[in-house]
Chains A and B, each alone.
Chain A
Amino acid sequence: MKILIVDDSRVMRQIVIRTLRQAGLDGHDVVEAANGREGLDAVAQHSPDLVLSDWNMPEMTGIEFLTALRANGQQVPFGFVTSEGTPEMVSRAEQGGALFVITKPFTPESFREQLDPVLV
């Protein structure tokens, strides 16, 4: 299975990769992108099975990225990993087609809880 991790912070991308491993969700191929625009290119090039995206990024935000994906007919499972987990943003994420929102800071347990149903 291939997972695309989109975050403008390389530090956070590494933490997400590490947390996937700690959650017992290793063994998947990982692709990285630094913003939504690079994420769009990465989806087209690598056809990931899951996208984990930050919300607030330069060039193209996470919600803009998700909107563009769905507008292109791309139905790849998508979840946000973001520092902003307000009910308003969760609602926006769900309306945009995201399956879940994981709030930073997160734990391996929160990853397992949200990703297990998706990565079956």
Chain B
Amino acid sequence: MTTTLDLQLEDIRVVTDDVWTSFLATYGPLEWSPVTLEEASPTDELVQASVAIHGDWTGTVTLEMAPATAETAARTMLHLDAVEEVDVTDALGELVNMIGGNIKSLLPSGSTLGLPIVTRAPLCTAGASTTEHYRVELTWAGTPIRIRVWSTAR
């Protein structure tokens, strides 16, 4: 049986906001963004953190932001003035792990969560077997971040 994903955009925003409030509140709250991540940062490459969910519904949750925003997140979470690339990868992986884990909790029981993957170019993109279902564009301290939920055909 394949489960149909039944989420609200507000569910995704609330889950993300809980994570940000707990660990990244220093630079202010999350707010809805009137523009897309690409429109807000057209010249920046994106950092994408992704985590897979497997079960009756199979898909991926991604968290994307500009590299400078990712570095700010890592510095904030570690309470350090400077961080290494490995720290940025770690921080974004943990953020998408928490967002993905809490989204998984909104799904029927029996799903499992994969380990996060963080890349400088999008690993999860629309394709023959991957479909974007939900997109939440937010701003954090004036910088854009995006959460997307994708389904994967089996």
- Give A contacts to B, CB under 8 Å: 8-12, 14-15, 18, 56-58, 82-88, 103-107
Contacts and interface: CB of A to CB of B under 8 A. Distances in A.
B105 interface: yes
Q: How extensive is the interface on chain B, given as a class?
A: 20 to 34
B19 A85 contact: no
Given A9-B94, A11-B74, A82 B87 contact: no
Q: Chain A binding site: helix, strand, loop or mixed by DSSP?
A: loop
B113 A11 contact: no
A9 B109 contact: no
Q: Chain B binding site: helix, strand, loop or mixed by DSSP?
A: helix
A56 B113 CA distance: 8
Interface stretch (B37-45, B62-70, B96-104): B96-104
Interface of B: 18-19, 21-23, 74, 77-79, 87, 90-91, 93-94, 97-98, 100-102, 104-105, 109-110, 113-115
A84 B19 CA distance: 13
